[in-house]
Structure 1
Amino acid sequence: MTDYRSVPVVTSGQDYRAAPTQPGSRMARRAAAAAPPPPPDDRPPRGHRGGGSGGGQNKMRILAWVSIGVTTVMVAGALTGYTVYRDAFSNIKKKSVNSDIINPRPVDTGALNVLLVGSDTRAGKGNAQYGQKLARTADAGGKRTDTIILMHISPNRDKARLISFPRDSMVQIPKCKNETTKQEMPPRRAMINSAYSSGGIACTISTIETLTGIRVNHFAEVDFSGFKNIVDALGGIEICLKSGVNDKSSKLVLPPGKSLLNGEKALGYVRLRHYGDGSDIGRIKRQQIFLSKVIAKATSSELLTDVGKLRDFIAAAAGSVTMDPELANDTEQLIDIAMSAKQLTAGGVKLTTIPWLPDPEDKNRVIWKQPDANELFTSIKTDTEPATPAPSASTGTGTTTKPKVTLKPEQVKVQVLNGTKTFGKARLVADQLAKEGFNVIGVGNYEAADGKSLPKTEIHYAKAVESAPDHAGTLAGAVVPKPAPAEGKVAATNPQPYTPATPPTSTPPKGTPVIQLVVGEDFDSVKVTKLPDSVNNSTITASEQKSVCT
């Protein structure tokens, strides 16, 4: 039987999805993204992310976020009468990409995960003036995305997290079909946005799924024209500046204080490079505040109750966005997103930038900080189960039963046993539980009667302890997939005490039952609810940004 002892520490940063750090010259990376080659990137190096030039990420992040407002308000029309807006809905551009995704896909858990990307095509009136000289043509030699955002809406549709992936993240791009030739391109290490340049949205979806392990259910793309049209249809967005702006690069002149921006000025604002401390982080925070205001206005009662304004907005939005047909043709799903977004402005949308570190091979690029990034991904993967109402204390027959007790992880004592042939599994799972606050008191092994690995994870508790089922239920709710607790404990092989890296803040009282978690081959992970400081420090809450001046 395997033994947990003397096992080296293994972090989720060693997961196959993490971006490798092997070196590669910039020329080699560009060459690898060819066939056909992506459009030239004539922008200057962004430099270290503490202070930067480079505005591509800025202009695109807002475009992607506006897609949420687009889907939100388009379907609000359906709530006031689908017939009135039928023509507008039919104008949504659709693109089917499922046949172009050639990598194994993560399991669909039932959560709603939408990939939002912004295309920097210069097609459209007024768009050719933006960007570097070589990009000032109708098609700019191709399209790129400087923004990739994964929107996760919780099962109860009352919370959301939008994860921004910096365009200069060096990651492992999986094998993909070339968007134009349909020829298979081999895996390569490159900037994450090169997936879109050569393989389009299908390769971008594959890249995100491979790196994060999260199933992407739908996607939405929006371009410069779409961004400007949407902002104009909303009647503009009000921003607040601590100091005035006179920036030639973004073609923007604004006074200090509050300003109402139309689409053209808003595009200049999100492209603004020289303002504040000039840092990339400061610029990202300004954009996220702007995005939260877009969503607030797009879901406001003022717009939703004005049939004329709503119809105009839907018409502008529908012609500005490309979606997968499964989403574009599913009115119920769009309504679901719309109603979600309306709740989210009050309940709080969290906007997070992936925790990062400078790439050791190129300080102008970044890699994702591990295991922090993978813990963030796990929190999304495991946020799949809607909260259920507390059980009633009545049986419906005039008698009453004792209601279930809601326990915190700190109140649950756990012994973790390795029922698999994987060396060190008990300690790995114990570490995950301890991070989430569970009081892990021991580890060991479990020998099945047939000598084989246990196929499914089990939870056992002592039948004699009245409160044990409640403790077992709390533990079961933290494990993916969720095991069904069973009466009767099992014999542990080679049991040993467990000491967590960080001592628990409290100790359960004497007499607290010890619940056994026997890890089987089907074990995926412990649900992550306590995120690392690096994630929390790179997150803002949309509902708290109303009166913020930047």
Structure 2
Amino acid sequence: MSVALTFVLVATTLAAYAYYRSIEGSLRRLPFEVGPSRPPETGALNVLLVGSDSREGDNKQYGPKSQGLGERTDTIMLLHISPNRDKATMISFPRDSMVAIPECEGRNGATLPGGIRQINSAFNDGGINCTIRTLESLTNIKINHFVKVDFTGFKGIVDAIGGIEICLPKPVNDPKAKLVLPAGKHVVNGEQALGYVRTRYALGDGSDLSRIQRQQVFLTQVLAKVTDGGLLTDPVSLNGFLRSAAAAVTVDSELTLDRMLEIANSVKGLTAKELKGITVPVEPYPPDKNRVQFSQPAAKNFFESVRNDVEVTATPAPGKSAAPKIEHEQVRVQVLNGTGEQGKAVQVADELAAQGFAVIEVGNAPTTGTTAIRYAKKDAQDGPAYADAVATRLSKDKRTPVAGKVKPVNAQPYASKVAKLPDGPIIQLVIGTDWPGVRVQSAIPDSLKDKVVDANTNPCL
């Protein structure tokens, strides 16, 4: 939880105060060593966020008997920022999940055999790089960076931003989490905030899933305060936050200050409204009622949705205004199959129609290796914008629409699902043998929408 807070705040503030380069020297770094076999890039930004419960140094007050026993994690989150940097999804992995962990190098240098174990054991036994390998093997999502923070660092960050408002549905007296507060709303300092995100049995139903939901609500409250609470325009408060954050975290060696600035500039328009929290779908683990396992096919479908997620739109050149947004239902589409694979045009037409496009015809085209989005030369003024609406729905690299259509073979009418066919250019989608697929519309499937935590979620959990 605390690492999510750290990364989001660093990303939203460094862009405006690049002169804080001296702070970079405070950051602790670890090498990014996960091997050559990794998932492909999709244009999204994926940052692993891990909370460390190390009791060394200033953290010994949270369990002096655990000193010298290394570090564990109860918090594993993946911050997924869309390719267009306009949406963020915070994916939580329950610590009690039993998963397949690949063979890894252990903290002591010995080889850890692969097998079914609790997900946080990847970090406990193999460190951050084993955790990355495990998550990438489970999700097929490439992780670009990682951030790790400990208890003391979390407290310092919350104190630096002046505390966060929480809401308790009942009184809490949890000596283990060091949280004692009456019911109702409170602005909590770092120590109390740490207790709030750590307590498990004093709030909710006592499960790790309930605690995860509370952590996600806390993060949305943090982001709302940062973006709306004046931190970005207060140099004194910002300085205190940045120095606290830099001293609190350990990051990968590739997350340089220049890289942070690049990321911060790309996400500077994100607010709490664009952040969605979701927990990986799980179900009871039959051999042990105290553990869970990923629920299938829901988890598999969810990870696929994340990999293919959101619409990517071009950024207007300086001095030029953005073209008006073309909605899917405004675009008439002719789908032609140039792959030689029987039924491909109808399959793709169905997928586009499901996303609201007014598909009007399907047919064949001469075999081609390259998928293309085309518009008529006579539609040179409006055609590119309408074609671009189709191009942004294709997976992988965005394709540039081209002028000029090909002659269809055996074109047949398609029963459009749009109530009233629109005017405007007819866009031709020619499917090549390199067909990348159609992006899903959301990183969160409809089946999980009721599990989403966002700025509108009741904070009194």
Same fold (TM over 0.5): yes
Deviation at 1:93, TM superposition (A): 0.1
Deviations 1:53-85 (A, max 9, x none): xxxxxxxxx222122255247737844x43xx6
Q: What is the aligned counterpart of 1:532 among 445, 457, 460?
A: 445
Check whether the contact 2:220–2:272 (CA below 8 A) recurs between aligned residues. Answer: no
State the alpha-carbon separation in 2 of the partners of residues 219 and 532 from structure 1.
26
Match of 2:303 in 1: 374
Q: What is the aligned counterpart of 2:10 among 47, 71, 75?
A: 71
Q: What is the aligned counterpart of 2:356 among 433, 437, 446?
A: 437
SS in 2 for 1:228: helix
Q: Is residue 477 of structure 1 aligned with residue 392 of structure 2?
A: yes
Q: AA paired with 1:93?
A: R
Check whether the contact 1:378–1:528 (CA below 8 A) recurs between aligned residues. Answer: no
State the alpha-carbon separation in 1 of the partners of residues 279 and 387 from structure 2.
35
Q: Is residue 232 of structure 1 aligned with residue 149 of structure 2?
A: no
State the alpha-carbon separation in 1 of the partners of residues 407 and 119 from structure 2.
48
Q: Is residue 94 of structure 1 aligned with residue 29 of structure 2?
A: yes
Check whether the contact 1:252–1:265 (CA below 8 A) recurs between aligned residues. Answer: yes
Q: AA paired with 1:152?
A: H
Check whether the contact 2:335–2:345 (CA below 8 A) recurs between aligned residues. Answer: yes
Within a 5 Å distance, the mapping from 1:140-159 to structure 2 comes to: 140=69, 142-154=70-82, 157-159=85-87
Per the normalisation by structure 2, the TM-score is: 0.81
Q: RMSD of aligned C-alpha atoms?
A: 3.8
Q: AA paired with 1:238?
A: E
Check whether the contact 2:148–2:250 (CA below 8 A) recurs between aligned residues. Answer: yes
Match of 2:67 in 1: 138
Q: AA paired with 1:409?
A: H
State the alpha-carbon separation in 1 of the partners of residues 320 and 239 from structure 2.
45
Q: What is the aligned counterpart of 1:411 among 327, 330, 333?
A: 330
State the alpha-carbon separation in 1 of the partners of residues 126 and 313 from structure 2.
33
SS in 2 for 1:523: coil
Q: What is the aligned counterpart of 2:38 among 104, 118, 122?
A: 104
State the alpha-carbon separation in 1 of the partners of residues 318 and 234 from structure 2.
39
Q: What is the aligned counterpart of 1:541 among 442, 454, 457?
A: 454
Check whether the contact 1:74–1:313 (CA below 8 A) recurs between aligned residues. Answer: no
Within a 5 Å distance, the mapping from 1:140-539 to structure 2 comes to: 140=69, 142-154=70-82, 157-181=85-109, 183=111, 188-273=115-200, 274-278=202-206, 281-298=209-226, 302-327=230-255, 329-331=256-258, 333-338=259-264, 343-345=269-271, 347-358=273-284, 364-368=291-295, 369-370=298-299, 372-380=301-309, 382=310, 384-388=312-316, 406-420=325-339, 425-441=344-360, 443=362, 445-448=364-367, 454-461=368-375, 471-480=386-395, 481-483=397-399, 484-492=401-409, 504=417, 506-509=419-422, 515-530=427-442, 531-539=444-452
Check whether the contact 1:115–1:219 (CA below 8 A) recurs between aligned residues. Answer: yes
Give percent identity, aligned residues only: 43
Q: AA paired with 1:209?
A: E
State the alpha-carbon separation in 1 of the partners of residues 185 and 325 from structure 2.
47
Specify whether residues 514 and 340 from structure 1 end up closer, same or farther in structure 2 by C-alpha distance, changes over 3 A only.
closer
SS in 2 for 1:270: helix
Match of 1:17 in 2: none
State the alpha-carbon separation in 2 of the partners of residues 195 and 171 from structure 1.
10
SS in 2 for 1:433: helix
SS in 1 for 2:143: coil
Specify whether residues 470 and 390 from structure 1 end up closer, same or farther in structure 2 by C-alpha distance, changes over 3 A only.
farther
* Larger relative contact order, structure 1 or 2 (CA cutoff 8 Å, min sep 6): 1
State the alpha-carbon separation in 2 of the partners of residues 433 and 186 from structure 1.
44
Q: AA paired with 2:369?
A: P
Deviation at 1:255, TM superposition (A): 0.8
State the alpha-carbon separation in 1 of the partners of residues 388 and 230 from structure 2.
45
SS in 1 for 2:434: coil
Point out where structure 1 has 5 or more consecutive residues left out of the alignment: 1-61, 394-402, 449-453
Specify whether residues 171 and 251 from structure 1 end up closer, same or farther in structure 2 by C-alpha distance, changes over 3 A only.
same
Deviation at 1:377, TM superposition (A): 1.1
Specify whether residues 519 and 128 from structure 1 end up closer, same or farther in structure 2 by C-alpha distance, changes over 3 A only.
farther
Deviation at 1:379, TM superposition (A): 4.2
Per the normalisation by structure 1, the TM-score is: 0.70
Match of 2:53 in 1: 120
Point out where structure 2 has 5 or more consecutive residues left out of the alignment: none
Check whether the contact 1:72–1:299 (CA below 8 A) recurs between aligned residues. Answer: no
